[in-house]
Every structure is written in structure tokens, then in C-alpha cells.
Structure 1
Amino acid sequence: MELEIVPYDSGFKEYQTLYEEWFNYADADGDGRFTGTEAIKFFAMSNLSRQELKQVWAIADSKREGYLGFKEFVTAMKAISMAQCGYTISHDLLNSDAVRNIKPPTMEGLEAVLAKRRRKQKDKDLTVSPSQPSPASSWFSSKSTKKVPASSVTSIVDGLKRLYLQKLKPLEVAYRYNDFVSPLLSGPDERSIPGNTVAVQADMPFSGLTSFGTSFLSKFECSQMPHPLLDHITFVDSPGVLSGEKQRTHRQYDFTGVTAWFAAKCDLILLLFDPHKLDVSDEFKRVISSLRGHDDKIRVVLNKADQVDTQQLMRIYGALMWSLGKVLNVPEVMRVYIGSFNDNSMHSLSGPLGNELFEKEQDDLLSDLKDIPKKACDRRINEFVKRARDAVIHAYIISHLKKQMPTMIGKAKAQQKLIENLEDEFAKVQREFHLPAGDFPNVEQFKETLSGFNIDKFEKLDRRKIQTVEDMLAHDIPNLLKTFRNPYG
């Protein structure tokens, strides 16, 4: 099975120099980021309607970053050209054969402006040293060639990073959120990198995995290879879940803890089942339990379905849904993809379902995967908001437990009693601060972590830190989204 990737530069090289010149002109401040404000001025030269330009921006800024890099700028130019030719522009159109030979759009008045700039530049080049590479010359890179000041916010992701450092991180540090729930946030040749190396690389998002120790990192490996799809997606493949007699073999690291760490940071979770092995082992139950709170990301894949006939498949599907219902304990039915996701599959399913079912299911799954980059920004916002709310509840819990500790004697006994009655203490916090019961952490896991700390050493309730985070959720994030929305509404 392969994802069909339409080459980005199909029909591009012929006009590369022209598009570079256009981008360098349109990107007024030269930081390699073509913003909505700059777009309103530049796109007006196309003479398209506001509604058409709204669709152009939505397609080009598919990841909702609030700006266009050079690649996305070229996509916008192609979309404008298609619209000028009378097409109704869409994502599917830009992946069709129609776009392969499309010429650059007509931009009224642009050539006259550029001709004037060229004359000025020619005069300047007589006395100036050799020019530096333009931002567009590194169009294959997602980073700007000009360093953006740390204080500036030029995208939604930049804004979230700044809000985290200034407003959320102080609350997490004060109440040890990173020790209880999730590590603090941090910010292409073909090769394999050992886990211990990956975890300490500043340009890799895996530094939080160091908390799982050398036993895990020695088994963790990162493979890198040049492929257009991997510019936008990282695949994480977990080892097979143990079942039967194999469960007696204990792993040397916290397998479910690692799974939960990745679940909190990924966009999509695929649970793979074999029709001949539908039993949900104890380890698999623990893994699925660790995914709670991320139900919207989970998809189930029933693989190798071509190895059974239609009647067996119906029974297997029913048995799988029943087993998952017991483990997940949620009323909503989870999406299950049925098929044989293997290039060598014979698609031998007999009856009226046959190949048509497999093909439709495969198409649906691929659509889900292809949508990941488009929804990545939305998921980041969603995860950030969820993390902030969890951190606030965590702060309330920790400060409440601190408040229950005696001033002088009997601290050890008081701590033990608090841990034993932690569920009751959670209920007290919920009632006092009017918090949703479903947002509280798992009691047993919290007990286990809490037993390794001295409650008396925790921070008292700091309402200013909590209010800062609540103001961030109520005002800063909505304003950030408003700033980087589609410039055409």
C-alpha cells in the first residue's frame, strides 16, 4: 500500500525564477513568511473576488499557520491561475492533472513594478557586494532564512510557544506538573539515530522521553529519509503488544507510560487488529486505558480481512466491537477500517462486498492520513488548551493537599492518610472550585506518583498564576486565532 503523493514541483521548475521574484516582492519584510496583511495587497492584483481569494488562502494555508512559506505561495499562485481560467478551485483540483501545465496567473500592474525594482537593483549591484540568498531560494525548507526575533509572533504556533513560556510554564513548574502528568514542552538525510542520541538533540521533539530511562532509550530508534510526505508527517511504530504466555515476560521500561506520552503529542492513533487474534490481552487493555482523553484520535484497523469470508468477517467485526466497548467503556462507536493493507493482498473476500469494500475502506483511511497536516494546527491548539486546563486542575489538587498537611508533627501519617483517601480529596477539590469531574487525573496513577514526593514541600495556592492561565484561555488564545485567521474572513 502506498500513499499517492502528487509531486509539488510538477510544472514548477519552468517558472521557479519568476515565482521567486514574485515572492521576494510580496514578502515585504523579507522574513520568508508571506502574511495575510501582505496577501491582501498582493492578491488584489489578480482581480479575483473576495470569496475566491478566501478559498485560495484556505487551500494554500492548509495547516493554518497564518502565513505562507514559498511552497505555499506557489500553491496559491497556481490556485489563482486556475480560478482565472474559470475553474472552481479546491484541494482535489490542485492534485489533478489539470494543474500540471498551468501557467503563472495574470497579476495586473506587477510586471511594471518589478521592472522598476530590477532597474534600481541593477544600479545598486554595481557598487554592492555579492547578494545573499533570497528566502525563496530555500523554498524546500520550512524555516525562514532570516532569523525572526524571539519577541515577534508570526504564526499561531509561535504565539502558542510564547504563551506557554510566559503564562503556562510558570504554573506547571510551581506545582510539578511535569513530574505528575507530562514533561515540560520544548520546542534530511536518510539515517537511523539511536534513542539516546535523539532524546538530546535540540531539533528533535523527543527530549521528554529521557524520563523513561536508558532501558527504553536503548530500544528507541529514529529513522530519517527524504520523502515529501515526511516533511509533514512523522510515523511512530510501537512494538507488538504482548498476549498469552508472552505477557509473563516483563518489559524493562514503562510501556504504557511511553504510549501515553506519544498519544498526547500525536494527531492520529491506529489500533491494529488481526482477525485471527481478537483477544484483548491485559497489556493491550493497559495500553488502551492509557489513551483515555484522546478518544477523538483513535481509529481501529481490522487488517488481513481478505483471509476470511464474508460471514466470518461479520462475526469478527461484531466480536471486535464488543471487545472494544468493554475496554474503552465509552458509548460512542469507534471508526473501524476493514481491509488488507498489504500490496500483495489478493482481496479474496467473496460475495457482494468484495473488492469494493476494501477499496472504499482503504480510500477512507488514506483520506484520514492525508488530512493530518491540514488539521495539525487545530490539534496543537486543542492539545494546548487541554494541557492548560489540566495544569490548572493539577495546581488546585497539589495546593489543596499542601493545605491539609499539619504545621508541626504527624506529617508522615497525614500524608499517608491523604494518599489513601485521594479519591475523596479529589471530590473536595472538585466541589470547592466547581471543576468538571471528568477532567481529573487517574486516581491510582496519581497515588503512585504522589507517594514519591513530600506533600509538605509543595507550593501553596497562587491564585495569580492560575488567573494568568485562565485569562490566557479566555482572551489570549482567541485573540491569537483572530490575528492569524484567513485574511478574507
Structure 2
Amino acid sequence: MFSWINRDETKKGSNEVYDNVLQGLRKVYKTKLLPLETTYQFHDFHSPALDDPDFDAKPMILLVGQYSTGKTTFIKYVLESDFPGMRIGPEPTTDAFITVMHGETDRVIPGNALVVDSKKPFRPLSKFGNAFLNRFQCSQMNNTVLKGLTIIDSPGILSGEKQWVGRGYDFTGVLEWFAERVDRIVLLFDAHKLDINDEFRRSIEALKAHDDKIRIVLNKADMVDHQQLMRVYGALMWSLGKVLGTPEVARVYIGSFWNEPLRYDVNRR
């Protein structure tokens, strides 16, 4: 039934030489795995078929956190420059999923144009509808760091009564889609905002299936002195223990990712 199971074909393919690993993976997927997925309609109930952009895409990092935890400032710190469409403030400024990618010219590409671009790995996102696509954009810029990776900034997770107001699209579903495809998920916490509200709890639970990719960062750690920092660190681990539901204590990385001098420099030790 499956011609690719033939022993002669397998033996023949084992002697092929590829220029690089990605070329070999693409060839193996299209000749071996894709026919099996198509036969059993794998794409109808799990995930769509992989296209060439999925193999050519650079490693991706997803930033998740409540509003005003420093996600956008973190990207600015890594890139050492502003990026198109960037807004920073104490209020919820990022209301969209922003993909920061490398490009020859600095520009902002709206979500409707992104999902029809065959050279970018975002075509399956069209299933989340226009309400999401209006909250999705790509910031392209000619930056050396972006030649090796792509960073995805997510909307700030709201607290209080605002978290009960619908976003108009499946926010958790979008997070799950990105979580499956990114190589690293960075959960950012603010030293002054440790409460994990319902929307944030649902978001973390949606990411738990990919816990090997998750790194937890306590940001703005220079805003408190070293004694308060230890109390904040313990309180964060206690809150995470109730959400993650694992016997092991999650490792929390401490830092202050911005381009200003540290307020309490004693925390550097």
C-alpha cells in the first residue's frame, strides 16, 4: 500500500547525501511522513501539514506575561534598539501578537498580509479569524540579532475586571499554536506583580504541555532591595507551585532587562 515502506527504497534513500540537515529533514518529511499523515487524515484532527517556511524559519522565542512586566522592554534590550510599532508604558500598551523578524527594510506588516505570505510560517493562523488577524502583526527590521532568531511579543495578560472582557478571539488557542512551534517560551513576572489571575492561570496551563521549553524570569529585580527580593522570589515560587502542579520546584531566573542602571546594584551579586 505504501511505496515508501519498500525495503529497496529505504536502502536507496539511506545513501543520499544532503547539503544540510534542513534539506534532509524536508526531503524525509515529504517522501516518508507526509504520505502517512495524508492517508490517516492526520491534518484534519491534529495539525496542518508542514510547508517549506516551517523548515526554513529561524528559531522562535515566545514572551508571555501580564501587562507591564517588561516584555517589550526585554525585546528592546536584546536587540539593543527600538523596533517598528513598539510602545512602552505602565498601562497595557501591547494589545497584539507582534512578531519581530529580520528584514532588509524597517516596516510593519499587518496580520491579513502575513497569513497569505507563502514565505512565512503563519498561514495556519488564518483559522482564528479576522478578530485575531486585526491583533496580529510583524515588525521587520534589519538587525544582526534577528538574523538568527525571531521574537514573538504577546499581549499583556489583564487582571481585575478587565480579564473577563472577551478579546474576540481564542487567546488560549493562539498561545497553544505558538507554543507548539516555538523553541523557547519565556514567562516574565514583575517583582511588584506576583498575583496569577484566572487568565494568566489558563495561559500557563495551556503551555504546560511544553514545559521543557518554558523558562521563568523574575524581571525588574533591581526595583527592590536584596531582602525584599528573597521574599518576592519565595512568593513567586509558591504561586507557581500551585499553578504548575509539579513536585519539582520550577527554577526562576532573576534579572532586570532594560538599558538603565540598576536601582539597587547590590542585587547584582
* Same fold flag (TM > 0.5): yes
1:168 paired residue number: 33
Checking the alignment, whether the CA contact within 8 Å between 2:216 and 2:252 is kept in structure 1 is yes
Of 122, 146, 154, which residue of structure 2 is paired with 1:230?
146
1:306 paired residue number: 222
Q: What is the CA deviation profile of residues 234-267 of structure 1, one whole-angstrom value per residue up to 9, with x for unaligned ones?
A: 0100000122211111111111111111111111
Counterpart residue identity of residue 322, structure 1: W
Of 218, 231, 240, which residue of structure 2 is paired with 1:324?
240
Question: What are the within-5 Å matches in structure 2 for residues 3-14 of structure 1?
Answer: none
Higher relative contact order (CA 8 A, sep 6+): 2
Please list every run of 5 or more consecutive structure 1 residues that lacks an aligned counterpart in the other structure.
Answer: 1-150, 358-489
Of 175, 188, 191, which residue of structure 2 is paired with 1:259?
175
The 1:179–1:308 alpha-carbon spacing in structure 2 relative to 1, beyond 3 Å, is farther
Checking the alignment, whether the CA contact within 8 Å between 2:222 and 2:267 is kept in structure 1 is no
The Cα shift of 1:216 comes to: 0.7
Is the partner of 1:222 in helix, strand or coil? strand
Aligned partners of 1:332 and 1:177: how far apart in 2? 34
Aligned partners of 2:234 and 2:46: how far apart in 1? 35
Is the partner of 1:278 in helix, strand or coil? coil
Aligned partners of 1:211 and 1:301: how far apart in 2? 31
Match status 1:356 vs 2:221: no
Checking the alignment, whether the CA contact within 8 Å between 1:306 and 1:345 is kept in structure 2 is no
1:155 paired residue number: 20
The Cα shift of 1:298 comes to: 0.8
Aligned partners of 1:326 and 1:232: how far apart in 2? 36
Is the partner of 1:201 in helix, strand or coil? coil
1:190 paired residue number: 106
The Cα shift of 1:292 comes to: 2.3
Counterpart residue identity of residue 157, structure 1: L
Checking the alignment, whether the CA contact within 8 Å between 1:299 and 1:336 is kept in structure 2 is yes
Over the aligned positions, Cα root-mean-square deviation in angstroms equals 1.9
Is the partner of 1:327 in helix, strand or coil? helix
1:278 paired residue number: 194
Aligned partners of 1:345 and 1:177: how far apart in 2? 52
Checking the alignment, whether the CA contact within 8 Å between 2:226 and 2:267 is kept in structure 1 is no
Aligned partners of 2:196 and 2:25: how far apart in 1? 38
Aligned partners of 1:162 and 1:183: how far apart in 2? 17
Aligned partners of 1:179 and 1:309: how far apart in 2? 53
Counterpart residue identity of residue 196, structure 1: N
Aligned partners of 1:179 and 1:313: how far apart in 2? 49
Quick one: percent identity of the two aligned structures? Answer: 55
2:156 paired residue number: 240
> What TM-score do you get using the length of structure 2 for normalisation?
0.70
Number of aligned residue pairs: give it.
Answer: 203
Aligned partners of 1:178 and 1:249: how far apart in 2? 32
The Cα shift of 1:355 comes to: 4.4
Is the partner of 2:187 in helix, strand or coil? strand
Checking the alignment, whether the CA contact within 8 Å between 2:187 and 2:215 is kept in structure 1 is yes
Question: What are the within-5 Å matches in structure 2 for residues 77-476 of structure 1?
Answer: 153-187=18-52, 188-348=104-264, 354-357=266-269
Give the strand-richer structure, 1 or 2. 2
The Cα shift of 1:184 comes to: 2.0
Q: What is the CA deviation profile of residues 459-480 of structure 1, one whole-angstrom value per residue up to 9, with x for unaligned ones?
A: xxxxxxxxxxxxxxxxxxxxxx
Aligned partners of 2:222 and 2:142: how far apart in 1? 33
